[in-house]
Amino acid sequence: MSYVGPVVHAALLLTLAGSMTDAEAQPSAKLPPNSGRLELEAIGEQQILLESGRHGLTYFPDEGISVIHKQPLAFLMVAGTETWLMQGPSWAAAKPVQKVLVPSADGPDNSYAGIGAVHIDVENNKVYAFYHAEDQKGYQKLDNGVPNFMASICLSEGAIDGRNFEKRGPVLTTFHEKNPSAKQPQGVADVTVSPSADGRYLYAWYTDQSRDGNRGVQICMARSPIADHGKPGSWRKWRDGEFSESGLGGRETPVVSLREAGADAWAPNVVYVPECRRYVMVLNATVYADFEPGSKPAGGIRLAHSADGIHWSQLATLVTAFGIPMPGKECAIHPTFIVVRATDEAVDGTLLYGYSPKWGHTAHEPPHHLASRTVRLKVVAE
């Protein structure tokens, strides 16, 4: 499992990212460019889709969920430290088919290999999967007993059926050197990807754990030419107003920060909605005040939207709970937003996330397991 934050923070990620044709990337004729915003109109009651321990799986989803096929439903989900291919007629009826990605004996993913995002190339029958990798060798455990780590984002490539993946190496890494004496997790984590609106690039948003300039844990961004399929060396990080820094070891400027609100922003999941020409992001918020004795949790899952993927709206609260897994605390983590139906007037979706009423490692205090809520967003013209 991956945890980052002021005490111990859960690292996750996912996206539903498919290939986009030029026609799909074109704006709607009814809504002038950059003239609208999205407002949260309704959110449904929580439903538990898969209980902890179902099919022998625990600690899931521990990154974002990636859809491979919609009909029949097939998706990649991280449970524990490994990635599974799941299939079934629905989310609740899905069963594990096989492990598709596991940690290596050595290297940046020697302890964790969790796919959180995919880009599907239909023409070439390829799936490019981006995964959260952890090097835990030499590190001590964090306050809740979870090993500390150095995180990086790596690429794996597989066939369109999502069953077999070959590792291609790191694509996004931190500028910090590995420090096994560090008291908090290091590196970059929790990646999500989406084709840009014009179809030229793959955009990636990720959790930066450098805490550079005492800014805390926040969400940063990079891009790669879409023709490069996200290969190592093709990524440039967003810094000081342009994509100028190397994805491997470069520095970054946050695009979403909750530092002034006394919180960390992490685990982004982004999807582009061409009908309203907006990127929609769901993410986790870890509120520092939640760690104070007797405090009422104010963290959990938030939502934002953007016209360009760089400048984001104010955040709306979707789920209020503890923003990371902490023993004995209700938590809601690792969100994914799936678009069900979209027009130039509204977006209907499903929010998937890991939930525990009282997080722990037993049947009475179970680790996080798959929950969902319906979400309706209204498009408001300006």
The CATH number of whichever domain residue 251 belongs to comes to 2.115.10.20
* Owner of token pair 């680790």: 367
Q: What is the pLDDT of residues 219-251, one digit of tens each?
A: 999 999 999 999 999 999 999 999 999 999 999
Residue matched to tokens 């004996």: 105
pLDDT greater than 80 at residue 29: no
Q: Considering the domain boundaries, does residue 58 fall inside one?
A: no
pLDDT band at 34 (very low <50, low <70, confident <90, very high): low
On whether residue 298 sits in a domain, the answer given is yes
Q: What tens digit of pLDDT does each residue of 87-122 get?
A: 999 999 999 999 999 999 999 999 999 999 999 998
Residue 183 pLDDT: 86
Tokens of 255: 């695009």
Is 253 inside any structural domain?
yes
pLDDT band at 381 (very low <50, low <70, confident <90, very high): confident
Alpha-carbon torsion angle 282, 287, 293, 295, nearest 10:
-70
Task: Examine residue 186 and state whether it is found in any structural domain, yes or no.
Answer: yes
Tell me the C-alpha distance between 122 and 295, whole Å.
49
> Is 90 exceeded by the pLDDT of residue 3?
no
In the chain, how long is the greatest CA-to-CA distance?
57
| Within-domain flag for 196 | yes
Tell me, yes or no, whether 365 lies in a domain: no
CA atoms of 371 and 356, how far apart (whole Å): 9
7 falls within a domain: no
Distance between CA atoms of residues 110 and 100, nearest Å: 16
User: According to the model, what pLDDT value does residue 68 have?
Assistant: 95
Residue 247's domain comprises 64-336
- Domain tally for the chain? 1
User: Can you spell out the DSSP letters for 305-361?
Assistant: EESSSSS--PPEEEEESBSS--TT--EEEEEEEEEEEE-SSEEEEEEEEEEESS-SS
Q: Residue 209 falls within a domain, yes or no?
A: yes
